[in-house]
Amino acid sequence: MADITIFPQLEIPETIAAGPGPGNTDPRVLQRFASAGVADHMQADVLRGMIEAKLMLREIMGTSNIHTFGVAGTGWSGLDVMFSAVMPGDKVVVFTNGTFSGIDGLTVRMKAATAEELAANSLDPKPASVTIIDVPHGESVTGEIVEAALARHKPKWAAMAHWETGSGRINDLRGFSDACERHGVMGLIDAVSSLGVEDFRIDDFPGVHGWASCPQKGICCLPLTYAPVSFTDRYIETLRASGTRTFVHHPIMEARHWGIIDGKDVDKGSYHRTHSAYAVAAFHEALRILLQDTVARRAKDYEFHEAALRDAVTAMGCKVTSNMTSLVVLNLPDKLAGREMELVQSCRAAGFGIWPTLSEPVQVRIGILNLLNQAAIADIVTRFGAAMNAMGADIDMNEITARLDRHFETAMVAQ
Ligand SMILES: *Cc1c(COP(=O)(O)O)cnc(C)c1O
């Protein structure tokens, strides 16, 4: 018998997840995850939990779309389901302004490529029917940019990230939706970073026909669960007419297990694939927590805590270029410029999980997903300041801490 190695049990330390995602998981979610009994994916309470989760998801997303449910996996799983309606030869305009919308663009190019176009460059196809409108890193996609491109190209589909997490920029969803409506284009939105962080209702954006998000950012449910998706009836009719070449990620078929059959809610799901009782229980609890907090309350908390962090890092001499409320993207002060990777690596090695940008230019990203309290923000600021000082930044941390305290005191007085 060949030698086999059995490694020691895997220990993963507790770190501060202060990046763009995943966010910190609520103990209530982990408790539900670990307390679920072993039950198969057709057991009555598992099916009931999925139906309740579907109904809570409609509330959180602000929609009456029947086709609203979760896709097992991460953000890309939900996005793959959403983009599955894009067929070879479809005319699509994609707006990109960073890492994630860039990958959305690649996904669309793979789906819209004809067989010949795909074979010509299978990992990076350049189909004639897809137009990529590339907006520079650090800038937002504006309604004017969308309007001009849709007027010129008259595509079947248009796609954009609501919040581009690569550069921390919010794109103009209102302008996008309006332009889609004016030109009869079906909009598709990557809402992976915004759902559960900003207070918005998807039904207020009628130019958008497909939405996809993720479990581990605003929904705070990393124990790998479900990526929320939602589709209008027009999207579903279009898909039903064209078909798509996937079984597992077929929006109509995947919806069946969530009790959505022939465009109607039914009281019991039917088998599509195996679902985990643990994942259903955790996702269900994360949605309950978000509804109890309310999306509006959480959005205000993100605004307040992002402002505190932004003020502190600005006082340390950093320049913030983002405008998302769950994430600060910054340039280091001139005297530390070029040492971003070194700084991020030293923080990460100490269990302080901040991130660099994943595409040029190199910047530092600090996120606050589910870190919405004074102690958590103070900890982030103290650790970040100490890391900068270790590189010779010479910041007076007493002054920074006093500023931060004032930010929180002002809020207490205001309440
Ligand atoms: C995080 C993110 C993704 C990818 O999500 P995964 O959960 O890593 O699959 C896609 N789009 C945006 C805008 C994101 O922020």
- pLDDT by residue, tens only, the chain of 415 residues: 578 899 999 999 999 999 999 988 899 999 999 999 999 999 999 999 999 999 999 999 999 999 999 999 999 999 999 999 999 999 999 999 999 999 999 999 999 999 999 999 999 999 999 999 999 999 999 999 999 999 999 999 999 999 999 999 999 999 999 999 999 999 999 999 999 999 999 999 999 999 999 999 999 998 889 999 999 999 999 999 999 999 999 999 999 999 999 999 999 999 999 999 999 999 999 999 999 999 999 999 999 999 999 999 999 999 999 999 999 999 999 999 999 999 999 999 999 999 999 888 899 999 999 999 999 999 999 999 999 999 999 999 999 999 999 999 987 666 5
* Residue whose tokens read 């959180």: 60
Q: 102 C-alpha vs ligand 1 centroid, how far in Å? A: 11
Q: Does the beta carbon of 165 lie inside 6 Å of ligand 1?
A: yes
Which residue, judged by its Cα, is nearest atom 6 of ligand 1?
Answer: 75
Tokens coding 352: 């302080």
Angle at which helices 340-349 and 374-390 cross, to 10°: 120
pLDDT of residue 315: 97
CA distance 312 to 121: 47
Cα-to-centroid distance, 99 and ligand 1 (Å): 9
Question: Considering just the CA atoms, what is the radius of gyration of the chain in Å?
Answer: 22
| Residue ranges of domains in the chain | 27-292, 295-414
Atom of ligand 1 nearest to the CA of 165: 15
Give nearest CA residue, ligand 1 atom 11. 100
Asked if the 27-292 domain carries CATH number 3.40.640.10, the reply is yes
Q: What are φ and ψ of residue 2, in 5° steps? A: -70, 150
Distance CA(208)–CA(226), nearest Å, equals 21
Residue 59 CA, ligand 1 centroid: distance in Å: 22
pLDDT at 173: 98
CA of 192 to the centre of ligand 1 (A): 6
The CATH architecture that domain 295-414 belongs to is Alpha-Beta Complex (3.90)
**For the purposes of burial, counting CB atoms within 10 Å of the CB of 317, is it exposed (0-12), middle (13-18) or buried (19 or more)?**
middle
Name the amino acid, one letter, at 197.
Answer: V
What are the start-end ranges of the E strands in 102-207? 130-134, 157-161, 163-164, 169-170, 186-190
Contact in structure between 325 and 299 (CB atoms under 8 Å): yes
From the CA of 161, give the closest atom in ligand 1.
13
For 412, phi and psi rounded to 5 degrees? -65, -45
For the Cβ of 76 lying below 6 angstroms from any atom of ligand 1, the answer is: yes
In the prediction, which pLDDT does 4 show? 87
Q: Which residue has the tokens 């910041």?
A: 395
What value, to the nearest 5°, has the Cα angle with vertex 102 and ends 73 and 322? 95
CA of 100 to the centre of ligand 1 (A): 6
pLDDT for the residue 196: 97
Element housing 189 (H / E): strand 186-190
